[in-house]
Amino acid sequence: MGLFGDVAGMLSFLQFAPQQDLISIVTSLIWIVFMMIFLLYPTFSQRLQLGYILRDLERRLNRLKAMRDEVRARTLETLKKYAEKGVDVGRELDNLLLSFMIEPESMDPYGVVYKLEHIARSWEDTFEEHVKAICSKADRERAKTLTNLVDVARGMDYLYRVVRHYYLLGKKTSNVYIVLQVQMLIPQLMEIAEAYRQASYAFMHGQPIGDGVGVLAAAKLVENMEKKTYEIAKDTIVHETSFEGRKLFVLRAAGPGGAVGRPADGLLKILESEGDRVKAIIMIDAGLKLEGEETGKVVEGIGAAIGGLGVEKFKIEEASKKRNIPLYAFVIYQSIGEAITPMKESIAKAADEVVERVKKLITSKVEEGFSVIVAGIGNTVGIGVT
């Protein structure tokens, strides 16, 4: 009779069993009943698991919503300080939070980089102009930092909406595999959300962030040097000076407003004016560390150390290849959260180490009488022009 016969035998034995044995038998019986349910109804275990995961995700989603609302409220409060009376800042902010950029068609890859550059720059300029129109009382530098603040709120809002989408989709379809994927990713997503929350503080008060360490190192490199400083591209400046018989061009975004500049455009203009005299391009940027690695650790490599959509990286690589100029890179390790939150002391101290290593590289790789370009990459919020 199998499993059902065993259950019937246990039921008939209950009236003759001692109390201690009775408890053991009842416990065994309960487990047998559960086994029968799992065997006879395979979907029951999935539904049980689905319910548990959905409750956990709902709790995380509520936390994510609270963080999203906090960042939006902080952004709204800040924008109102620089807006004229009569401007519906809340409605304008919501429009910006839902703004988007459609990437160009890449089915035919020829020329896609320059199409992407055109679309990205058009979107960035439009986004910044919209923020300036809302905050007409803000000066140029403050408007750029406010643009960064709105962009952080936009990223936070998008993150919440994506997580909510997959939570509701998994709940609607009772698909345990959808919610399982979200549950596996939610710890990293919550970490990113917390970084966004802290980043809103930094941009609200104009504090330097971890991503600005490349700009900080560039500023420290030319500190106390006689130099000529001028704007070479949009939101991008160059310090022209000399170092131990070498002509030095230090490229960086202009501060102290929040901007990353257009280093590729600046670099191309320098190459056009200097020609074959440029013997090295050195780039300094923040780099994403692996778990367990030390924050602020300086590492050296080869290549274009710059993030973003890839347009700037492509143009720099093309220019260096065309002129056969080596690309040297210095990267300061930090987590994704540390990159967009107020700069830690260990990251700031790493800028001094980078300066010394860049100087050694220049004297060892570039002969006297030739030129070298040093590009400090990163967001320059809170870092002024020296």
Judge if 333 and 352 occupy the same domain: yes
Judge if 228 and 372 occupy the same domain: yes
User: Is 58 part of a structural domain of the chain?
Assistant: yes
Judge if 278 and 361 occupy the same domain: yes
Judge if 217 and 303 occupy the same domain: yes
- For 144-180, b/e burial (b = at least 16 CB within 10 A) is bbbbbbbbbbbbbbebbeebeebbeebbeeeebebbe
Residue 14: pLDDT over 60: no
SS3 state at 370: coil
For residue 323, what is the domain's CATH number? Answer: 3.40.50.1470
> What is the rounded average pLDDT of the residues 11-38?
64
Q: Which of 123-127, 130-134, 174-178 has the lowest mean pLDDT?
A: 174-178
pLDDT band at 386 (very low <50, low <70, confident <90, very high): low
In angstroms, the CA 145 to CA 360 distance is 35
Mind listing the pLDDT tens digit for each residue in 44-90? 667 777 888 899 999 999 999 999 999 999 999 999 999 999 899 99
pLDDT, residue 28, reads 77
pLDDT band at 283 (very low <50, low <70, confident <90, very high): very high
Q: Widest CA span of the chain, in angstroms?
A: 105
Residue 6: pLDDT over 60: no
pLDDT, residue 2, reads 46
User: Is 382 part of a structural domain of the chain?
Assistant: no
In angstroms, the CA 210 to CA 224 distance is 24
User: Is 127 part of a structural domain of the chain?
Assistant: yes
Judge if 346 and 328 occupy the same domain: yes
pLDDT band at 30 (very low <50, low <70, confident <90, very high): confident
pLDDT band at 376 (very low <50, low <70, confident <90, very high): very high
User: Is 384 part of a structural domain of the chain?
Assistant: no
Judge if 364 and 310 occupy the same domain: yes
pLDDT, residue 32, reads 76
Place of tokens 């923020």: 131
pLDDT band at 275 (very low <50, low <70, confident <90, very high): confident
pLDDT, residue 116, reads 94
User: Is 381 part of a structural domain of the chain?
Assistant: no
Place of tokens 């990251």: 347
Judge if 217 and 201 occupy the same domain: no
Residue 8: pLDDT over 50: no
pLDDT band at 345 (very low <50, low <70, confident <90, very high): very high
Last residue of a domain, one of 205, 233, 260: 205
User: Is 298 part of a structural domain of the chain?
Assistant: yes
How many domains does one find in the chain?
3
Judge if 147 and 197 occupy the same domain: yes
Last residue of a domain, one of 190, 205, 220: 205
Question: What mean pLDDT value characterizes the chain?
Answer: 90
Residue 298 belongs to what H/E stretch?
strand 298-302
Q: Which of 32-41, 154-163, 267-276, 315-324 has the lowest mean pLDDT?
A: 32-41
Instruction: Please tell me which residue, 25 or 340, carries the higher pLDDT value.
Output: 340
Residue 12: pLDDT over 70: no
Domain that holds residue 19: 2-40
CA angle 197, 203, 205 (to 5 degrees): 110
- Give the other-Cβ count within 10 Å of 275's Cβ: 9
Judge if 148 and 254 occupy the same domain: no
CA–centroid distance for 298 within its chain: 20
- Give the other-Cβ count within 10 Å of 129's Cβ: 12
Last residue of a domain, one of 168, 184, 205: 205
pLDDT, residue 137, reads 95
Judge if 233 and 87 occupy the same domain: no
User: Is 383 part of a structural domain of the chain?
Assistant: no
Mind listing the pLDDT tens digit for each residue in 208-223? 999 999 999 999 999 9
Judge if 10 and 62 occupy the same domain: no
Judge if 184 and 97 occupy the same domain: yes
- In 3D space, the residue among 362, 330, 328 whose CA is nearest the CA of residue 244 turns out to be 362
User: Is 351 part of a structural domain of the chain?
Assistant: yes
pLDDT, residue 385, reads 74
> What is the rounded average pLDDT of the residues 309-325?
95
